[in-house]
Amino acid sequence: MVTETKENKVYFSDIFDVQHSLIEKYGALDISLICDNPAFVDPFLIFANPKYNDLHQLVIEYLKFLKELTIKNAGNELSSGDFKHYYKFPEVKQVWLGYSVDGNGGLGLNRGFAESLYKNLHKIFAKFGSEKITEASHLEKLCLVEEGVGVDKISDFTLNLIKKYILEYTESFAKKYLDKSDIEEFAVRKVEFDFENKIWRDGRFTLPRIEQKNGKKDFVLLVPKELLTKQDTWISKNDFLENDSTIFNTIENDELRAKINKYFYDNLQVKLNKKKKLEKDFSKKSKTGALIKTVWEYPEVLDYYIKFKEQQKNEALKSHIADPENINFFLDTEVIQKEISEKKFGKLKSFDDCVLRLNFFNLN
What pLDDT score was predicted for residue 325? 64
Q: Please answer whether residues 221 and 94 qualify as being in contact, where contact means their C-beta atoms are separated by less than 8 angstroms.
A: yes
- pLDDT tens profile 21-72: 999 999 999 998 888 888 999 999 999 999 999 999 999 999 989 888 887 8
Which amino acid, residue 259? K
The single-letter DSSP state of residue 37 is B
Chain centroid, CA 24 distance in Å = 21
Query: Interior CA angle at 71 toward 65 and 75, to 5°?
Result: 120
Q: How confident is the model at residue 203 (pLDDT cuts 50, 70, 90)?
A: very high
The crossing angle, in degrees rounded to 10, of helices 163-177 and 151-161 is 70
What pLDDT score was predicted for residue 314? 94
What pLDDT score was predicted for residue 120? 76
Q: Average pLDDT in the 208-229 region?
A: 90
- pLDDT tens profile 113-125: 777 787 777 777 7
Q: Average pLDDT in the 238-266 region?
A: 89
Tell me the average pLDDT of the chain. 84
Could you tell me the residue ranges of all domains in the chain? Answer: 12-233+322-331, 243-298
Q: Average pLDDT in the 277-296 region?
A: 89
3-state secondary structure of 188: strand
Better-predicted residue by pLDDT, 276 or 138: 138
On the question of pLDDT at 345 being above 70, the answer is: no
On the question of pLDDT at 358 being above 70, the answer is: no
On the question of pLDDT at 315 being above 50, the answer is: yes
